[in-house]
Amino acid sequence: MHPYVEKIASVGAQANPTFQTLGIEPVSWGDGKAVLKMNVTPGILNGSGFMQGGFYVILADEAIALAILAECDAESGTATISETTNFFRGVNEGVIYGVAYIVRKGRRIVFAEGEVRKGSPDGELLSKTVVSYIVTKA
């Protein structure tokens, strides 16, 4: 098992400073999927009163990384090759979920998607992030 995933299993959000800063909670991971949970707070809203777009990307990307690393061994690392996010709807309160899943995994390249959803892991779709990662060996 990858050390990061072991640490998430052991100490939860304390394993990741970004999780602590934004109040992200790991919900589940494994089998090429991961779910994270976050409260929308006033400190992450933009001047128009909606969550700033970068926070959608962070939540999706962190969920994607966890989904991929949960499939990697201890000697593997990852790096993003490309990442694109489409935004569908704004949010200014409540709980949101980052839901990620591996679409295709080659020998070194992994294609994955992450969605940000309102209220539950299968709630209203707010954004979708599509990525490709390279898996490296130490």
**55-109 pLDDT per residue, tens:** 999 999 999 999 999 999 999 999 999 999 999 999 999 999 999 999 999 999 9
The matching CATH number, chosen from 3.10.129.10, 3.30.460.80, 3.30.300.30, 2.30.29.30, for 3-137 is 3.10.129.10
Is the pLDDT reported for residue 137 higher than 90?
A: no
Distance CA 123, CA 114 (A): 14
Q: Tell me the pTM.
A: 0.96
Are 98 and 115 a contacting pair, CB within 8 Å? yes
Q: Is the pLDDT of residue 43 over 90?
A: yes
Band of residue 22 on the pLDDT scale cut at 50, 70, 90: very high
Question: What is the DSSP secondary structure assignment for residue 123, as one 8-state letter?
Answer: S
CA angle 87, 31, 9 (to 5 degrees): 90
CA dihedral 56→62→66→68, nearest 10 degrees, is 80
Q: Nearest to residue 125, comparing CAs of 136, 114, 138, 137? A: 114
